[in-house]
Every structure is written in C-alpha cells, then in structure tokens.
Structure 1
C-alpha cells in the first residue's frame, strides 16, 4: 500500500504558545519536541498557556489539536486550589491537547461570550467549537478522566 497525496493530511496545525505563529507539524513527530518555525521555541512546554482575549481565538480556531481551557480568576480559592492539578494534567495531556488558562478578570469579554457563570470552569474546544464544559474544581485524575470522556 502506498501513500502519496494523503501524507500532507497527516500534518497538524499547531499554534505556538510563545509567538502565536501557526506551524504545520507531522502528527507522527508530535512527541519529538517540535519547535516553532518562527521563534524556535518549543511548541509544547508541559505547562498551561495563559491566553489573553487577543490570543484566545487564534489558539482555538487555528489549532488542529483539541484545546482544554480553564476559565479562572486570581481571587477564586477553588481556582487556586485546582491550579497545580491543572498543571499536572497539562504535562500528561500534551502533545495530544493544547492546555490553556483564561483569567476571566482580564478577559471579561471571553467570559461573557462563553457565558461563564462559575469558576473554575473547564471547556473543551475542537475545531473552534466548544464540545464540553464542566464547572467546579477537580483533581488531576478527574480532569484527565473528564477530558478523555469528551475527547472522542
């Protein structure tokens, strides 16, 4: 069996967490620590990416990876309690997922656009569309289980 024109379809668009450039990365090379073609920094850091309103849409609309979002605020106790678990989840979910955080105090437009009524709230986006949402703090195992349940 030969592969000809199907090979490019296996390349994924990955938005750089540093400079927001859109990179094409062969799916088979995701675990090889790819770097951005523009800024030469790692495309995966093992940490949640803090996104402002200006950067958010590019990351959810231009990435071929599912994007897990933590809508949070610095004054929120449960948000601060969940933060280390969310960071642990990021280490385990990358590179199959982009894991990001949105501070709803700084990005009030996004909180309104996505009708975030309680924080923390996790939302999973695929192809620019929200496919699942879960309010409330979770530990790392519950985050991972929830993501796997809704990633299909």
Structure 2
C-alpha cells in the first residue's frame, strides 16, 4: 500500500510504499528526506497542506522562541521523533512567525502538540512532556 506525504521542505505531494517509510524515502521533486526522524520547521501554509494530505501521523509542536517551557521540550520532541521514525513525522511551527495559526488551531497556550492524519486532528496535548510520554501519547496512531 502507498502512503501520501507532503515534503516538509518543498511542499510537493509524494506517494511512498508503506514498506519504505523507514528506509530513507526522498521527495521526487527536491530530494529531501520524507521520513527523517527529526522535527522540521514548517510554515503555516505547508502545515495546512501536510495536515490535509499526509497518510502518516504528523505531530506538530506549536512553540515560540520566548517560551521557556517550549525550549525545555524541544530536545524531548526531537528524541521522540527519532523513536517514532517510520511511524509518524514531526514538525515545528513557530506561533510568533505565524500568529494566524493560533486562531486556526484554537491554540490557547504553548507548547502544544497536535497530531494530524488524513485531513483531521486526531489528538492534542498541551504543556511540557518528556520524550517517553510523547511516544506513549502517540502509541495509538496508525497508518491510514
């Protein structure tokens, strides 16, 4: 079965075989890794497209540079991304750079994790949590 994913670098839609999710699949347009095992900074437009199209869970950390709890959680988020490589993709959106995200996703506080898949929000978690708790939180996700 093929999974739809949006390249988090160039925004191109790609279809990759489910068996290659953990094998270094690359974007057909720009050559960037599609399932990197590390968070990728995204714009709001790119997030909206990926949240709509991705068949693999997309876990997004909504954060801001001035937010001390956000900075504390960043390494935990990166560790969870490595642990869940091939099962989910991880992105970060700076709410200061894209303040319109606050209204669009009803963000009332940061850090905030929201998981998207197939055009829908599937789960959210606010506050600082450890890598192991992020992995546990994401354990119920599956490929669409």
Q: Please, what TM-score do these two structures have when normalized by structure 2? A: 0.93
1:123 to 110, 114, 124: 114
User: Equivalent residue for 2:15?
Assistant: 24
Partner residue of 2:55?
64
Q: Which has the higher helix share?
A: 1
Structure 1, gaps ≥5 residues long? 1-9
Spell out the pairing of 1:111-150 with structure 2 (5 A cutoff).
111-149=102-140
| Backbone CA RMSD of aligned residues | 1.2
Moved over 2 A (4+): none
- Bigger RCO (CA 8 Å, 6+ sep): 2
Shift in Å at residue 41 of structure 1? 2.3
Q: Structure 2: give runs of 5+ residues left out of the alignment.
A: none
| TM-score scaled by length of structure 1 | 0.88
Q: 1:88 aligns with which of 48, 54, 79?
A: 79
Partner Cα distance (1:16, 1:81) in 2: 27
